[in-house]
């Protein structure tokens, strides 16, 4: 279970204030995959980072009775001077999981070849995304936060990524952001729509998709 209590987030840029979350109160049930919808710039990625604890809200709090991933594929915590393997080992120690098992999983999954043992400062953005997604999927969480799970790599890698993610969902919940409505239907059972800082909850993913599309057409 993840509960948002009066979550507010306001940014101030060039003297202008923008509130992307305005006193949000919602509970994401345990073991349920929730689709998070909203226009570009509505604050979806910001909300994921608040839930993950990597970004502080302006006010309010997030309460959970289980483990929550960082946004899947997020590479912001990697150290550029370390290799892909060394970064995987470092994260394994932070989360208390078997280091050798995580390194083995990521090396096989990310398909980086010899680059896996080179500093990630030499990686392309695509290689970095593969590494980040592999590390994310290599650690078991009660709830995964996912921002465009199918956007990493070529078609074959995207299919593999989706298959691994679906296998994780058999034992975990998720909060998912994706531009593809078909992806949302495949991954989620309920949905929430973020619009002008307000969050509406729909128990059926189809109702959430319909509300989101209506907002986009308005």
Q: What are the two backbone dihedrals, phi and then psi, of residue 42, each rounded to the nearest 5 degrees?
A: -70, -25
- Return the pLDDT at 194: 97
Please, what is the Cα angle at 183 between 179 and 189, to 5 degrees? 110
| For residues 186-191, average pLDDT | 92
Percent of the chain at pLDDT > 90 equals 71
- The domain limits of the chain are 1-67+142-218, 78-140
pTM of structure: 0.86
Q: What angle do CA 172, 177, 182 make, to 5 degrees?
A: 90
Residue appearing with tokens 């509505």: 42
Checking DSSP bridges between strand 143-147 and strand 68-72, what pairing results, if any? parallel
Q: What count of other Cβ atoms lies within 10 Å of the Cβ of residue 184?
A: 23
Residue 201, number of CB atoms within 10 A of its CB: 15
Q: Over 70: is that where the pLDDT of 151 sits?
A: no
Q: Would you give the DSSP letter of residue 30?
A: T
Question: CA angle at residue 206 from 3 to 159, to 5 degrees?
Answer: 85
Nearest Cα to Cα of residue 176 among 164, 190, 163: 190
Give per-residue pLDDT as tens, 86-118: 999 999 999 999 999 999 999 999 999 999 999
Domain with residues 1-67+142-218, CATH architecture:
3-Layer(aba) Sandwich (3.40)
Statement: residue 82 has pLDDT above 60: yes
| DSSP per-residue codes, 82-122 | SBHHHHHHHHHHHHT--HHHHHHHHHHHH--GGGGGSBGGG
């Amino acid at each position: 279970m993840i509960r948002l209590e009066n979550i507010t987030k306001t940014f101030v840029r060039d003297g202008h204030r923008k509130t992307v979350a305005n006193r949000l109160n919602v509970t994401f049930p345990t073991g349920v995959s929730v689709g998070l919808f909203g226009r570009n710039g509505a604050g979806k990625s910001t909300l994921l980072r608040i839930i993950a604890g990597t970004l502080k809200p302006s006010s309010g709090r997030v309460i959970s009775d289980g483990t929550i991933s960082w946004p899947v594929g997020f590479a912001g915590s990697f150290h550029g001077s370390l290799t892909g393997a060394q970064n995987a080992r470092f994260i394994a120690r932070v989360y208390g999981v078997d280091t050798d098992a995580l390194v083995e999983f990521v090396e096989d999954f990310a398909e980086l070849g010899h680059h896996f043992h080179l500093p990630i400062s030499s990686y392309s953005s695509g290689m970095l995304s593969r590494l980040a997604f592999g590390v994310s999927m290599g650690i078991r969480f009660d709830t995964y936060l996912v921002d465009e799970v199918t956007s990493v790599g070529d078609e074959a890698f995207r299919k593999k990524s989706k298959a691994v993610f679906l296998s994780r969902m058999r034992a975990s919940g998720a909060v998912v952001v994706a531009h593809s409505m078909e992806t949302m239907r495949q991954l989620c059972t309920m949905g929430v729509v973020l619009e002008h800082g307000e969050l509406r909850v729909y128990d059926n993913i189809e109702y959430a998709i319909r509300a989101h599309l209506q907002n986009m057409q308005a």
